[in-house]
Amino acid sequence: MDSMSWLAEGAQAVRRMSSREFFEMFYDWVDDENPVSPWPKGSPETMTPPEVDAVTKVLSVVNAAVADIGDVGDDAVIASGWLERISSVAKAALDLMLTRGVLMKSLKS
């Protein structure tokens, strides 16, 4: 979920790391070669169907951004407007995953 929280941060995360690392850390977590079920690598059973749908939406926006932006510098990525679009869908996905995580933690207590 770290990669999703970085995507949700948008420009702040790009300034802290780099645009290349910003996108690559997400692709390291998501199976971008299987867009039908982009499960995080190695743990497909840990996500609910709504979480898979949310991650699929994030993957779609990230793929569109990468295709549109190409290989440009951090400032150009920030100025492109894509980070705001990515951030909004990533926040929604992260909120969904965190809600279940908090609920599960409460049930265990």
- Please tell me whether the overall predicted TM-score, pTM, comes out greater than 0.75 for this model: yes
Q: What is the pLDDT of residues 1-56, one digit of tens each?
A: 788 999 999 999 999 999 999 999 998 888 666 656 666 665 557 788 888 888 88
How is residue 20 written in tokens? Answer: 């290349």
**Best CA proximity match to 58, nearest among 10, 106, 98, 108:** 10
pLDDT in tens, 97-107: 888 765 454 44
Q: Which helix (H) or strand (E) holds 26?
A: helix 19-29
